[in-house]
Amino acid sequence: MIEVLLVRTSLSRLAPGLASRPAAATLLAIAVAAVGLGPAASPAAAAAIPAGAGSYSDSRPAGTSGPTTNTGAPVTPKLTTAARDKPVPTNDWWSSLAYQRYGDNPYSTPMYGHPLTYQAKASGLEVGYPTTPAIVGDGRQYEYAHKADLTVGLSGLNSPDTKADAWSDWTVTPYWADGSRTFRATIGHGMPFVYAKGSGGDARITTASTPTVFSDQGNVLGITVAGHHYALFAPTGSDWNVSGTAITAGLGGKDYFSLAVLPSTDALATYRKYAFSFVTGSQVAWQSTGGTVKATYSLTTEAKEGTERGTLQALYRHQWLHTTDALTPYTYVSPRGTMKVRESASFTTSQKNNGVVPALPASSGVDKARLAGYLNEVANASDPFSGAADTYWTGKALGRLAQLVPVADQIGETATRDKLLGLMKGRLQEWFTAGGASEFSYDKDWKTLTGYPASYGSDTELNDHHFHYSYYVYAAAIIAQYDQAWAADSAWGTMIKHLIRDTANPSRTDSAYPFLRGFDVYAGHSWASGHQGFAAGNNQESSSESINLSAGLVLWGAATGDTNLRDLGSFLLTTESEAITQYWFDASQQVFPASFGHDTVGMVWGSGGAYSTWWTANPEEIHGINVLPVTGGSLHLAREKAAIKRNIAEMERENGGPAQEWRDLLWQFESLSDPAAAKAKWDGVNGNYTPEQGESKAHTYHWINTLNTVGAPDMTVSGDLPTSAVFSKDGTRTYTAHNHGSTARTVTFSDGKTLSVPARSTATSTGPGGSNPDPEEPGPSTGNTFRLKSGGILTTATTDPAGADTIASADGVNRDGTPYRPTVYEVKKVNGKVASGAATAFRLRVDAGTKVGLAPQVRVSYDLTGDGTFDRAETFRYFATDPVNGWEEYTQASGPQATTGSLGELKNGTVRLEVWNALGNGTSQVQTGTDAAVLKIPYV
């Protein structure tokens, strides 16, 4: 169990001592050119390494420190000889394998791979599968904490430490050695298998309690421990021996064995097929074209026995919501909701590109004179940087100025624009020149670039680099929009590219920086801690500052003509946007445990989430930390407008009223869903408030009044240029795009609209469309009618794409009347009164393909108060499908089979539809996302 978290990483974990380390005499040449990020720096013995017009140092400033243990002692990466020269992706789900934060723990802290959890110890690798959430910290945190079901290793293994031996995009191989034995175990996100290799001893599994054996096939053993089912696989010819809690098998001259967590005991045969297809690597490939971002997630495998090279992998919710690849009926529990299993070594996701614009479009709702006055307050301040000295607060100040540059340009205030640009250039150039009061320093051991003065553990714990540097990249992108010469590699662009390589390096072969240091491509979001030294795994608080880096990459890449970096930014932003939607805001209300009484979390942990921040329990900051900074990269939040409304409502409940401290941030957030409500709050204060430290009255005034005029972002439409966006109000869409290129171009939007945009300019036009800017909020005609949406959702939205879900096989047993592995769809927080004379109705399209004798069956249940108890259940007769490819219609006309309980008023209730195969021995499908996939409840 972990503590409720009320103090920020950054503030609570600064090292007690700051000891400088002897500087390295030389720095290896950094192969920038090889990864397309500018010219390589030459080796140098001097402290300052040239980088275009700028420079960074190869030794830390006097009196400062690099990565340390919790006692302040210097620490270097914990790697095997084979991995020693490979840049370590710190800020990952498994970073504690490489970063020994606590001197008395040379193994690891718990690591959350999902569905499995792990912790290294002297005798091998603990493995667990937490399936029951705990609510801790006065109800402010939920967690599926690691608890070992078993430990996998070798007989007699007693290693003094565990090191990282190899890793890929989402897998890692820890290594143990005790002088007589060596042991490796490859683990990863979404992997139900642990692939083990060892020498010097027999395979040994030690269970936490006496196991129940449900299948013994010699070298294949099925056991149940703590209610969880596992399969153990030894080489052919071996035999597992069970003695109490010890299970051993001789390897017969081989060096491999594996285990898997099973979704059910009847899955053993399927999992056995892939037991010796060992995963050796993982890689994501992405592309952003035509307004769509696609990503393919692939595993490489090696056949230890036989020829099978396939595998099984469990997809997170943010992934299976956006794939059309076939999935099995198997599922797992995780802190991120249900994981679904695919029987393949790869899968592909596809999402609409979430555009980024330098500024909201010009509108008639902005009073230019008033805005000019607000701009002058910032530009003419005695200290526009508000005393900022360290990387984080300097970044915040740069971000505040960067937002105002295109706004000033938009209303013709060119002198103010240029003054703001000058301020930004001057401060960045100070940081980008080694030897002054502020500089960046390269650490050759950790292969990272750290800014000094540092803050919040960015130096001693390698925390938050993506947060801090996001502001520098974004500010530089705005400068590049107006001054390309400043951004050239020969000028200051090379230093910006170093920051990008440190935080979001797209190269897997760069010897100076790791691939995507903080972004976990399979989890779909970044991690903040550099050492991952917590019982709850790694964490990320400000998902919006992570998005700020992605948005900065889009704008920097567009402004400098680097389409590869631009498209990397689109991939990162679009992927993380869905992760934020599901795991921070629980927009579909399918992730947080029912017992967790919050609609949002301030922090996501490997084990769960917490309604808290690192530094305060103030609700305004808990909600606002995942909003700031508000920029043209924030528009993605508008995809789930109903979730924004719930978020604001919860903040005001917890706060005892509207926001005061961070009111401007939360007004801007609310305007993404309800611009009129946000404007009313702005008008009520009329500019008499103190802005949040990264905000300004100029930006907030422009943001709120613009959206009140053009409408909230319309995320149902995307443009084929990443720097474009659409807004909608009262049946009119406003289309905008910025063309950073040197020639005019036409932007085509997914609704067919085209927009001609001159070179180095913004263009805006309007057209019909978007009459319902908030499709998640039911109108009078659709309040009792729900579509089935892939992902287990019942929704009133009509904009989701058509798809299909798999209905599990009845496995040859008569399941008539009793749901068996049903495909479930739910909607929560429903209110309504029973409609006189009405009855439950549904219309589904189902298809069994050419399978004979299948029978999809439906049950609709009503939990009237949302307390988890279903008060009414209606089971309908099954529908006998034909063995011909093609959809068939199944409705309530099949007639009721059984009804229990009574209908009553829905007060914050839950409605559930379950569909399963009552007969037969094969899977079928049910359509989603269409008017032929509908449930209508008898309520008004």
Length of the chain in terms of residues written = 940
| AA identity, residue 900 | T
Q: Which of 439, 545, 774, 805 is catalytic?
A: 545
Q: β-strands 124-128, 331-332: how paired?
A: unpaired
Q: Is 76 exposed, middle or buried (0-12, 13-18, 19+ CB in 10 A)?
A: middle
Residue 594 has a CB neighbour count (10 Å cut-off) of 13
Contacts of 802 (CB under 8 A, 6+ apart): 927, 928, 929, 930
Tokens read off for 719:
């443009």
Q: Which of 92, 464, 664, 914 is catalytic?
A: 464
| Catalytic status, residue 888 | no
| Catalytic status, residue 776 | no
What is the DSSP track for 859-925?
Answer: EEEEESSSSS---EEEEE------SSSS-EEEEGGG-EEEEEE----EEEEEEEEEEEE-SSSS-EE
Q: Are 930 and 799 in contact (CB under 8 A)?
A: no
CA-derived radius of gyration, the chain: 28
Tokens read off for 329:
């009926």
CA end-to-end span of the chain, whole Å?
44
Q: Are 831 and 906 in contact (CB under 8 A)?
A: yes
Q: Which of 541, 576, 586, 714 is catalytic?
A: 541
What is the DSSP track for 690-739?
Answer: PPPTT--HHHHHHHHHHHHHH-EE-TT--BSSSSEEEEEETTEEEEEEEE
**DSSP 8-class letter at 495:** H
CA dihedral sign, ordered 657, 662, 664, 667: negative
Q: Which residues pair with 332 in a beta bridge?
A: 339
CA angle 539, 541, 543 (to 5 degrees): 110
Whole-number Å distance between alpha carbons of 914 and 921:
19
Rounded to 5 degrees, what are φ and ψ at 647?
-60, -50
Tokens read off for 58:
């190869």
Q: Are 19 and 74 in contact (CB under 8 A)?
A: yes
- Nearest CA to 82 among 167, 169, 159, 180? 167
Whole-number Å distance between alpha carbons of 464 and 38:
25
Rounded to 5 degrees, what are φ and ψ at 196?
-110, 145
Residue 886 has a CB neighbour count (10 Å cut-off) of 9
Whole-number Å distance between alpha carbons of 155 and 201:
5
State whether residue 938 is helix, strand or coil: coil
CA angle 875, 876, 879 (to 5 degrees): 140
CA dihedral sign, ordered 672, 674, 679, 685: negative
**DSSP 8-class letter at 291:** T
Whole-number Å distance between alpha carbons of 427 and 495:
13
- Residue 770 CA from chain centroid, whole number: 28
- Nearest CA to 282 among 152, 183, 191? 191
Q: Are 330 and 271 in contact (CB under 8 A)?
A: no
- Nearest CA to 655 among 624, 691, 626, 685? 624
Q: β-strands 896-901, 785-789: how paired?
A: unpaired
CA dihedral sign, ordered 657, 639, 330, 933: positive
| Catalytic status, residue 541 | yes
Residue 905 has a CB neighbour count (10 Å cut-off) of 12
How many CA atoms, within 13 angstroms, populate the side-chain half-sphere of residue 570?
Answer: 33
Active-site annotation, residues: 464, 541, 545
